[in-house]
Amino acid sequence: MARSSIKAKNNSSMVLKKESSLMKIQKVGIVGCGQMGGGIAQVCAQAGYTILVSESTRELLQKGLAGIAASLERSVKKQNITSQEKDAVLARITGTTDAADFHECDLVIEAVSEVLDLKKRLFTQLDRICPAHALLATNTSSLSVADIASATGRPDKVLGLHFFNPVPSLKLMEIVTAPTTSQATMQAGKGFAKTLGKTAVIVQDSPGFIVNRLMAPQILNAIRLVESGVAAKEDIDTAMMLGLNHPIGPLALADLIGLDTLLTIADSIYDKLGDSQYAAPETLKKLVAAGHLGRKTGSGFYEYL
């Protein structure tokens, strides 16, 4: 009996220790308040975290914060949350244009453009600013977490937390671990995902991770079908929705993701693997060059009012 009591007490202590570790993540910083960063800020604030979100200019920051408010207002209209809950969420979000303000954050999530050098410069800056215990996470959809972590003096505390768009709706989070990511950091990431109501999948640091590695060829092949005149874009999307029970067709999905983001993902994986199925079709390149990036610009494969 005594041994059982000691074992139970030890197990209880381990649980409390884990919970205590997770409770250290109280203030979350998010770099970038665009489509992804704004969505991440919203779900983290809805989970009760104190949020500091940054943008490069005051104009972009105000636009991003307005987007969060609009998203929450839509939830109110759908009766998913109350007006009081919306106000409470917004009260937990503060905006800044000064990266130095991240000095009190326990976790900082980067959601800037998919440019490796940009991300590495940012992580070097965050490494200097953030407290020693803080975790640094990248929302990259295809770049190497190890490469990004190498720009810091805390590679053991760097991981990928890859959210999916739209962040408030999609429940998946890919937790990407580089060879340098510690087990404690990975477990903290899993715990954090759980508090957001996300289902976490663990993936090793590799080009495209799980979802984009599988999704990119499908979308690129749909674009090639359009290019070759096999079928119209509307019929391709309808076929995939009704034939495979997908909620959205691959070309409409490309517009939702952002054609520039899709091109970056494809190029990044192709550069690493040299596999022709990730080679970007000319139509995709031309649309991006023309600034037709999908929903965020009002036109892509489809037109949006």
Q: Of 71, 142, 162, 268, which is the active-site residue?
A: 162
245 in active site? no
Task: Evaluate the CA torsion angle 184, 177, 100, 63 in order and state its sign.
Answer: negative
The one catalytic residue in 54, 142, 174, 268 is 174
C-alpha to C-alpha distance for 102 and 28, rounded to whole angstroms? 9
Q: Is 174 a catalytic residue?
A: yes
Which of 54, 139, 141, 268 is flagged as catalytic? 141
103 noted as active-site residue: no
90 alpha-carbon distance from chain centroid:
20
Catalytic residue, chosen from 71, 139, 142, 212, is 212
Among 91, 92, 129, CA closest to 110: 129
Active site residue 221: no
Catalytic (active-site) positions? 141, 162, 174, 212
